Amino acid sequence: MSSLNKSLLIPLGIFIVLVVILAGGFGLKDPHFLPSQLIDQQFPDFALSELNDPSRELTADDMRGQVALVNVWATWCPNCLVEHPELLRISRDEGVPLYGINYNDDPFKARQWLVRHNNPFQFNIVDNKGKLGIELGVYGAPETFIVDANGVIRYRHVGPVSRRTWEETLGPIIELLETNPDGIKG
């Protein structure tokens, strides 16, 4: 094959680069864990409107002061409906503030969804362009973050929250953070 024309290798070269990107894009990351660099980082800055009161602008400061749960949800996400009863229970029984991020959704539909299924959230951040979700590294809905009193992300849960998730993970972490704010890392 002495006559091999080097330019014919260009498509193959491009393809190899593409494979590296694709493999890097997903082989190296397990979608069920947060990239470690976001843990113990400040919740990203944002300025977005509130779902039921579009005139109100929310920022990261609105989440400070208390350990809180931040839940990413959408009307197009069936699992959000699955976890919804548990979120309602947490907001009713556990005394932890619950904030919603309405992710990549139609605000119009989202408002009705909350009317239909009840609203466990203290407020809902309208992220209909998905920008905040991207900064948070959201892979899809539902995802739930624990944010401490200083607005630092301490834990991320991917997938629906069940009673068991609360009892085994979210509840104990929140309790620990409330009693001893610097007690856990990672």
Calpha distance 81→63 (Å, rounded): 24
Task: Select 16 or 47, whichever has its Cβ closest to other proteins.
Answer: 16
DSSP H/E element including 186? none
Task: Select 134 or 167, whichever has its Cβ closest to other proteins.
Answer: 134
Work out which of 27, 55, 164, 183 binds other proteins, going by CB under 8 A: 27
Calpha distance 65→93 (Å, rounded): 20
Asked if 109 interacts with other proteins (CB under 8 A), we say yes
Task: Select 46 or 139, whichever has its Cβ closest to other proteins.
Answer: 139
113 phi-psi bin (left φ>0, alpha ψ -120 to 50, beta other)? alpha
Find all residues with CB under 8 Å of 130, minimum gap 6, and list them: 103, 104
> Which residues of this chain interact with other proteins, rule CB under 8 A?
1, 3-5, 8-9, 11-12, 15-16, 18-19, 21-27, 30-31, 35, 37-38, 75-76, 78, 81, 104, 106, 108-109, 111-113, 115-116, 129-131, 134-135, 137-140
